[in-house]
A and B are shown apart, each in its own frame.
Chain A
Amino acid sequence: MAAGAASGGSATTDTYKEARTWLLMPAWVTLSFLILAPVLLMLVYSFLTKEFRGGVVWEFSLSAYDQFFFDRGLFGDEPAKIEWTYITIFWRSIWQAGAATLLSFLIGFPTAYFIATQPERVRPMWVFLITIPYWVNLLIRTVSMKFLLRDQGPLNDFLISTGLIDSPLHIVNTNFAVQLGLFYSYLPFMVLPIYAAVERYNFTLSEAAADLYATKMTILRRVLLPAVKPGVIAGCILVFVPSMGSFLAPDLLGGAKNFMIGSLIEEQFKGNAGNWPFGAAASMILLTMVLIILLIFARQQAKAEKET
């Protein structure tokens, strides 16, 4: 948010000052009606009573949130215990998104760094190479990944033919397959901010450290990483946030045992469970978690901007 307001800087003028309300009106109307109002309505729905077969009854109720956190037995008359089913699904989503973020960082950081240290002329081409797959349909990419990793898929065929393994590796329907799918879905989001940060990095700092007998590892850990930290954090958030609410990778690569939030929510609206208030409540909990993460991030960025 701060970025847009702050970067207005140089070329911001007031040529169209009188017309700005009219110029902004279409965007305000469209987004208020089709994004903001729906999200507020979803908040309301999460406090309503469920109608069987989908939909709601307009009667205030906390049962959606209650069902999420507490187990009151089959008939709802037993003393409340903590309900672990949904907390576990959320926890798994956080964990999976975290693992995918780590994987993206371990591969994405060296990649971003390598690109940023190439001659300036060829850098756009490298960035282009990394971003092309991102623009290919996410569904198609996920299906392709599944095709490649299948038990009888090309990867296993290849590994068996080279004699590295005797029987196929079971990758599909594991946690790792989901992490790989998420990594594949959002990798450019990790690479691009880190690339931008490394490009601005002043390499004389590394030279100074080397002159003082710092090893490469020390330079990386004590000089480079702290200097590009904002880019790393931005990359991690841009991978973590969409991973947490993702649907396709867990659904296609994870199977029923590796259920994540996205599938839980989808099932309330498209599947047989059909509990709309519960789906709305789960969405609100996800949205709240994401907004808290973004808020902490925005604060840190603002603080970092003040310091420099």
Chain B
Amino acid sequence: MASKKFDIQAFPGFKPITLLCLIVLYAPLVIVTVYSFNASASLTNWEGISLRWYADVFSGPESEKFKIAARNSFIIAIIAATTSTAIATLAATAMVRGGAFKLRTVSFGLISMPLMVPEIVTAVATLIFFNAIGFDRGLLTILLAHIAFCIPFAYLPIQARMQGIEDTYEQAALDLYATKRQAFTKILMPLMMPGIISGFLLAFIVSLDDFIITNFVKGAGVETLPTAIFGSVKQGIKPNIMAISTMLLGVSVVMVTLSYLVSKSDKTK
């Protein structure tokens, strides 16, 4: 690969396309971030830098609505991500360390079902289900739907991580008269931590982002950030929406960077 004389790998035009791709991916986000600092109340004119729309988010006319929505979103995301990560960790242990069994393929199919069924179909199905069993729609229905939907996102990094861990450590512990429970909690779990953290962060972001399913299963008047933003955007994009978007964007970028660093620090070990 070191040969520079005739580069067999390079195709002309691929690099410009890659750069174009990055521009298309980042331009909208950068523009919205920049315009969130616009002092003007109009979307089109630029009147200098100001934090007025951030102040508006926290104390403006819509601030109460967004505060409640943000609190709902974060509470749901934390509980849903924690629960689904716990469920996924146990499931991954059975799938990777449970030997061969008949229901293995079925179990994997069930776990990945939320990824295969289009989101809008899951949304419809969940709404119908809650309606049929007479479960009143509200925060709890959103939470239950999110727990189920987040399981595969938490599961996949955990499974990948567990497959990379030799079982010799647990075997050694078992040989030294550790119980299975001890081998699991004292040996396997600590080794699994990077996978579990990645899984948790992914599930957290997926829950925080979800609009379609939440929109279907939420009760009247119950809002999460995405549904509140959607409701507001339907009446036209306003500068305060751009300020909220920029803050949420920041949260996502921090979470993904954390997840990246966790997986990276692990490889260098």
A residues engaging B (CB < 8 A)?
1, 4-5, 7-21, 23-24, 26-28, 30-39, 41-42, 45, 55, 107-108, 110-111, 113-115, 117, 124, 128-133, 135-141, 143-148, 150, 152, 154, 157, 183-184, 187, 203, 206-207, 210, 216, 219-220, 241-242, 244-248, 252, 261-262, 265-266, 269-270, 276, 279-280, 283, 286-287, 290-291, 294
- In the complex, the number of residue pairs spanning A and B with C-beta atoms less than 8 Å apart equals 306
- Of all chain A residues, the one with the shortest Cβ separation from B124 is A283
Contact of A269 with B211 at beta-carbon distance under 8 Å, contacts A11-B163, A14-B98 already known: no
Q: For the complex, what is the distance from the CA of A135 to the CA of B249, rounded to whole Å? A: 9
A178 → chain B, closest Cβ, in Å? 15
Q: Mark B112-153, 1 if CB is under 8 A from A, else 0.
A: 111011111110111111011000000000001101110100
Q: Mark B196-240, 1 if CB is under 8 A from A, else 0.
A: 000000000100110110011000000000100110010001000
Contact of A245 with B21 at beta-carbon distance under 8 Å, contacts A24-B90, A38-B128 already known: no
Residue of B100, B122, B165, B229 contacting most chain A CB atoms (<10 Å)? B122
A291 → chain B, closest Cβ, in Å? 8
Contacts of B98 in A (CB 8 A): 14, 16-17, 19-20, 23-24
Contacts of B176 in A (CB 8 A): none
Contacts of B252 in A (CB 8 A): 135-137
The majority secondary structure among interface residues of chain A is helix
- Of all chain A residues, the one with the shortest Cβ separation from B113 is A35
- Of all chain B residues, the one with the shortest Cβ separation from A244 is B118
Within 8 A of A (CB), among B176-201: 180, 183-184
B118 and A290: CB pair below 8 A? yes
B256 and A135: CB pair below 8 A? yes
B125 and A39: CB pair below 8 A? yes
Q: For the complex, what is the distance from the CA of A220 to the CA of B230, rounded to whole Å? A: 44
- The 8 Å CB contact of B87, one of A27, A39, A203, is A27
Contacts of B6 in A (CB 8 A): 210
A42 and B128: CB pair below 8 A? yes
Q: What would be 25 A-B contacts, judged by CB atoms less than 8 Å apart?
A: A11-B163, A11-B166, A12-B97, A12-B100, A15-B183, A23-B94, A26-B86, A34-B144, A37-B129, A107-B21, A114-B17, A131-B256, A136-B29, A136-B253, A137-B249, A139-B233, A140-B248, A146-B237, A242-B119, A245-B120, A245-B121, A280-B128, A283-B120, A283-B121, A291-B116
B218 → chain A, closest Cβ, in Å? 10
A269 and B124: CB pair below 8 A? yes
The majority secondary structure among interface residues of chain B is helix
B141 → chain A, closest Cβ, in Å? 10
Q: For the complex, what is the distance from the CA of A291 to the CA of B264, rounded to whole Å? A: 35
B15 → chain A, closest Cβ, in Å? 6
Contacts of A23 in B (CB 8 A): 90-91, 93-94, 98
Q: For the complex, what is the distance from the CA of A167 to the CA of B211, rounded to whole Å? A: 35
A184 and B25: CB pair below 8 A? yes
- The 8 Å CB contact of A132, one of B91, B108, B256, is B256
Q: How many residues of B contact A (CB 8 A)?
A: 109
- Asked if B164 lies at the interface with its beta carbon under 8 angstroms from chain A, I say yes
**New A-B pairs, 10, CB < 8 Å, besides A9-B163, A27-B151, A262-B212:** A4-B95, A12-B100, A31-B113, A41-B128, A113-B14, A141-B29, A152-B44, A184-B24, A203-B9, A294-B116
- Asked if B255 lies at the interface with its beta carbon under 8 angstroms from chain A, I say yes
A114 and B15: CB pair below 8 A? yes
Q: For the complex, what is the distance from the CA of A219 to the CA of B249, rounded to whole Å? A: 41
A133 and B91: CB pair below 8 A? no
- The 8 Å CB contact of A137, one of B1, B31, B174, B248, is B248
- The 8 Å CB contact of A266, one of B17, B94, B116, B120, is B120
- Of all chain A residues, the one with the shortest Cβ separation from B129 is A38
A276 and B94: CB pair below 8 A? no
